[in-house]
Amino acid sequence: MSSPRIEVDLSKIRHNTWTIVVRLKALGIGVTGVTKAVCGHPAIARTMLDGGTQGLAEARLSNVQRLRKAGITCPVTLIRTPMLSQADDVVQVCEASYNTEMTIIMALAAAAIRQNKVHGIILMVEMGDRREGIMPQDLGEITQQVINMPGVALKGIGTNLACLSGIAPDAEKMQTLSTIVNEVEGKCGIFLETVSGGNSANLPWALGGYPNGRINNLRLGEAILLGVDPLSGNKIGGMFSDAFTLVAEVIEADAKSASPSVSFPDPSLAGLRIVPKSGEITRLILAIGHQDTDVRELSMPPGNTFIGATSDHLVVGTKHATFCVGSEMRFQMNYGALMRAMAAPDIQINLRHNWSALCAHDAHSPSKHLAQF
């Protein structure tokens, strides 16, 4: 089997999806599966749908096009504000998009009219993360403009937290979002079908026993794929955190002193060495590096220590005598490492338990799929 590679256990992703979908459904919250970390991989997207997600969400148009070329016809929402230059393509392949700029919404409306379509618009409101979002005091006016605009239909309001500024989506902020939605509806005389409270970082709030108010949707990627809470890094109970495994091959294995006599041109570089400063270790070099993944966000297997990395080499210290040239080492990844590795052209993706490939793609009954775990 070639390496480097990512081994993907689809049964674990399906289990994670179904588990969180069921928990949130009991609270009146639906789940949109976010596939951006896996570059819109069709098999993983189908697995999310098999697990019960209401649809899919993507940040890059090329990933949406990949999904469509694979025959996936479910609703797909573009969750990054569309590029003005891609308005026609967005309308062609996405049922809806998250937006903050009237210039772009107008371009989407014009593209929809040309294509004889109506494109769904979800307005993003700024709640403290300081990434994308309309300021709350401006939301009512913009909402009215969208309502009056042919070619588009206002589908809802959403927000995003815990991405740029580390502001957690707590009960107070979610209640504020509900209040904003109620005020906009009252001012504009409409009902918003979708109120998207955020991403995987919202799960401690959603599952914490707090009233969900008007929030009826979450956009989940990291929690489904890795089974962890992004804020704490802790595993979510009842879910798998090892659906993805990165495998790399050893290309050099030598016993060397952990403290070689090296003169660093910059004294601060000497502090980067993590291995102990005494004792004999076997220094392993693996055929993977910064160009392939975020090596700082790999979990070292027990008994192994990260030494350093370059663009295409990962250096690991080990006291295990079993590793030799040609051996493979297996790593768990966090979200950042997963995103980089899935996008790397030289890393092969190997799928396990690809149940959907054996079934009709339009059969999405979670009760049937549950029996396959």
* pLDDT digit string (tens) for the chain, length 373 residues: 789 999 999 999 999 999 999 999 999 999 999 999 999 999 999 999 999 999 999 999 999 999 999 999 999 999 999 999 999 999 999 999 999 999 999 999 999 999 999 999 999 999 988 888 999 999 999 999 999 999 999 999 999 999 887 789 999 999 999 999 999 999 999 999 999 999 999 999 999 999 999 999 999 999 999 999 999 999 999 999 999 999 999 999 986 655 555 555 555 544 444 444 445 689 999 999 999 999 999 999 999 999 999 999 999 999 888 899 999 999 999 999 999 999 999 999 999 988 665 554 444 443 322 222 2
Q: Round to whole Å and give the CA distance between 366 and 369.
A: 5
- What is the architecture, at CATH level 2, of domain 9-226? Alpha-Beta Barrel (3.20)
**3 state SS of 18:** helix
> The tokens 């975020």 sit on which residue?
294
244-352 fold:
Elongation Factor Tu (Ef-tu); domain 3 (2.40.30)
Domain ranges across the chain: 9-226, 244-352
Nearest Cα to Cα of residue 35 among 22, 15, 12, 17: 17
Q: What is the pLDDT of residue 256?
A: 63
- The CA-atom distances, in angstroms, between 20 and each of 23, 203, 223, 232, 362 are 5, 9, 8, 18, 22
Q: What is the pLDDT of residue 354?
A: 80
Q: What is the pLDDT of residue 363?
A: 40
**3 state SS of 356:** helix
Q: What is the pLDDT of residue 278?
A: 41
Q: Round to whole Å and give the CA distance between 253 and 83.
A: 48
Nearest Cα to Cα of residue 60 among 43, 37, 42, 44: 37
Q: What is the pLDDT of residue 257?
A: 57
Q: Round to whole Å and give the CA distance between 33 and 58.
A: 9
Q: Round to whole Å and give the CA distance between 341 and 14.
A: 21
* Peptide bond between residue 4 and the one before it cis (omega within 30 degrees of 0): yes
